[in-house]
Chain A
Amino acid sequence: SQQGEEDPQALSIQEGENATMNCSYKTSINNLQWYRQNSGRGLVHLILIRSNEREKHSGRLRVTLDTSKKSSSLLITASRAADTASYFCATAPGGGADGLTFGKGTHLIIQP
Chain B
Amino acid sequence: EAGVVQSPRYKIIEKKQPVAFWCNPISGHNTLYWYLQNLGQGPELLIRYENEEAVDDSQLPKDRFSAERLKGVDSTLKIQPAELGDSAVYLCASSFHTDTQYFGPGTRLTVL
Give the B-binding residues of A (Cβ under 8 A): 1-2, 4, 30-31, 33, 35, 40-45, 48, 88, 90, 92, 95-105
Contacts and interface: CB of A to CB of B under 8 A. Distances in A.
Interface string B86-112: 000001010101111111111010000
Contacts of B102: 45
Contact of A104 (B42, B45, B50): B42
Given A97-B50, A99-B45, A104-B40, A48 B33 contact: no
A97 B95 contact: yes
B109 to A, nearest CB: 14
Interface of B: 4, 31, 33, 40-45, 48, 50, 56, 91, 93, 95, 97-106, 108
- Main SS class of interface, A: loop
A48 B91 contact: no
Contact of A97 (B4, B31, B103, B106): B31
B42 A88 contact: yes
